[in-house]
Structure 1
Amino acid sequence: MEGRIRKRIRIGSRDSRLAVTQSQIVIEAIRKAHPELELELVTMKTTGDKILDKSLDKVGGKGLFVKELDIALREGRIDLSVHSLKDMPMEIPEDLPLIGYSKREDPRDVLILKDGFHMEEECGIIGSSSKRRVLQLKKLYPNLQFETIRGNVQTRIKKMEEQNYNGIVLALAGIKRLGLESIVTRVLSTEEMIPAAGQGILAIQGRRGLDYSFLDTFLNKESEIISTCERAFVTALDGGCSSPIAAYAQIKGNEISLQGLYCEEDSEDIRIGSIHGEVEKAAKLGETLARQLRSGR
């Protein structure tokens, strides 16, 4: 079966509503291009979904969101897995390569506030598990306080409604995929809030040696180039969960531009820079901007 298109494809996913919705996007694309294939969705709860009382950098980083799916891929219980690229570790196992990427959904972040709360005028508490988001929001709203909040989209919304949070920050891509745009209070521009690397892009991970040609009509070349640039920037900065890092690349014609943010661990000294060049040099551009920001240039 290795190396050939199978008649039955098992797609692995985290069991949150958003993860399942994103996996269904991939399933529908495969079904449209290859109606002859039998498709099965296999969901599972990852370690990252179970540990909600600690920040990711204290319990093992983003790898906790893929651990169980990686094991299932290796054991042949699934044939591919679907992830939000921003949640993927920078180091990808050689035997479980990233097959490709979806077209990018809106990469911006959004604020969701309790009814009647005006963050420009009042002090309040905003929930976010992302140092990247917190540091950038502090510049926009110095009057606010920030506390850690973990969980999937619905869990965070429920915590905001029931606990001592005046608002939360989430990725617009997930909100749109769940059809929840009506609860968004404010969309933050990419200049106000540089997104996480890969935000809005779905990554498909597979097992080395299998034939994934049935994905050809779904995979997006522009997203591949953008992802290469953004992830090269993060990798060059040894990016994990401990240091706030943001990266946002855009392609126009044969040129790619990258905006990056870096802040050393336990510091609030944000360094922001940009670079542009030919798309063929996407990875090199990411690495170059990382060096510039790290050296303070």
Structure 2
Amino acid sequence: MRRRKIRFGSRESKLAVIQSELVMDAIRRAHPDWELELVTMKTTGDLILDRPLDRVGGKGLFVKELDRALLEGRIDFAVHSLKDLPMEQPEGLPILAYSRRADPRDVLVLPEGADRLDPEKPLGSSSPRRALQLGGLFPGMRVESVRGNIQTRLSKLDGGQFSALVLAYSGILRLGLENRVSRVFSTDEMLPAAGQGILAVQGRAGEDASFLSCADDENSRAAGLAERAFVRALDGGCSSPLAAYAELHGQELRLTGLYCREADGSHTVEHMTGSRTDAEKLGVLLAERMRRRV
């Protein structure tokens, strides 16, 4: 039988490559006779590091080159961190698989050798979601934007620019840097970004992708659909302090959402429980309820 060759697209950062290989390894185990190729590329979001994302085009800057490669047939699939994907997917480029979720929590990383926060230096985070919640956890501390891959951010931290960084635990674990973690925030302390810890495989509509079932997790799919529906219903982009986290217990899905009204900074956290089969509907219902109350 002729070997099948499949090309996967990825950002070229070390973490993105590791994440793509995790998906490809699952496919190799299921289809050992297939040939898989990884195609890496720089995205506009990787190149523009001196300005916050909301000022230069949002999360779409991390995916548009990969979207173009998919549409032009230069790659067959793209692997992304689900939290980095815009809430509205381009027509014809659906999410086809959701990986098993890694630890969705956020972590605090101190400079090498430090054992406490330096109140004279800012906390480093480019996420409005994290900045909002850090204000409650560390009153009086400044939060300043920090861009770049994890290694670049750690270099800035260890170089003395920040008191600490707040990063996704899943990325730290995948890079084998768990020894740098000083504190793991519970999801009650720091509600995660929608999709955090989940990898998404994106492809072209209408093409047979049934083989991706080996890289698809039903719990992650339900959680991702609920969380993204919540943010999408609130018109949330990277400038909006929004968060959503779904927990699955059998057929029950419990969705927690954070909504902040930018006009006055008022915000709230609420929960809603329903059937996993109604994941997207649950996200929309919680969003509508919270918008009415804030």
TM superposition score category, shorter chain reference = over 0.9
* 1:40 equivalenced with 2:37 (yes/no): yes
Residue type at the aligned position of 1:53: D
Taking the aligned partners of 1:144 and 1:248, their CA distance within structure 2 comes to 26
Give 1:144 shift.
1.2
Distance 1:234 1:6, change over 3 A: farther
Structure 2 match to 1:144? 141
Equivalent in 216, 230, 240 of residue 219 of structure 1: 216
Equivalent in 26, 31, 54 of residue 28 of structure 2: 31
**What is the total number of aligned residue pairs between the two structures?**
292
Percent identical? 57
Taking the aligned partners of 1:94 and 1:262, their CA distance within structure 2 comes to 28
Distance 1:37 1:126, change over 3 A: same
Tell me if the contact between 2:194 and 2:224 (Cα under 8 Å) persists in the aligned partners. Answer: yes
Taking the aligned partners of 2:97 and 2:255, their CA distance within structure 1 comes to 20
SS in 1 for 2:224: helix
Distance 1:47 1:192, change over 3 A: same
Taking the aligned partners of 1:169 and 1:267, their CA distance within structure 2 comes to 25
- The equivalences for 1:52-71 within 5 A come to 52-71=49-68
Runs of 4+ in 1 over 6 A off after TM superposition: none
Structure 2 match to 1:82? 79
Tell me if the contact between 1:96 and 1:208 (Cα under 8 Å) persists in the aligned partners. Answer: yes
Structure 2 match to 1:94? 91
Tell me if the contact between 1:135 and 1:268 (Cα under 8 Å) persists in the aligned partners. Answer: no
Tell me if the contact between 1:117 and 1:166 (Cα under 8 Å) persists in the aligned partners. Answer: no
When the two structures are superposed, what TM-score results if normalisation uses the length of structure 2?
A: 0.96
Where does structure 1 lack aligned partners over 5 or more consecutive residues?
none
Taking the aligned partners of 2:159 and 2:84, their CA distance within structure 1 comes to 26
Residue type at the aligned position of 2:37: E
Distance 1:123 1:141, change over 3 A: farther
Equivalent in 115, 118, 122 of residue 116 of structure 2: 118
Alignment root-mean-square deviation, CA: 1.5
Structure 2 match to 1:22? 19
Query: Which piece of structure 1 moves more, 269-278 or 192-201?
Result: 269-278
Give 1:118 shift.
1.7
When the two structures are superposed, what TM-score results if normalisation uses the length of structure 1?
A: 0.95
Equivalent in 180, 185, 194 of residue 182 of structure 2: 185
Where does structure 2 lack aligned partners over 5 or more consecutive residues?
none
- The equivalences for 1:225-244 within 5 A come to 225-244=222-241
Structure 1 match to 2:171? 174
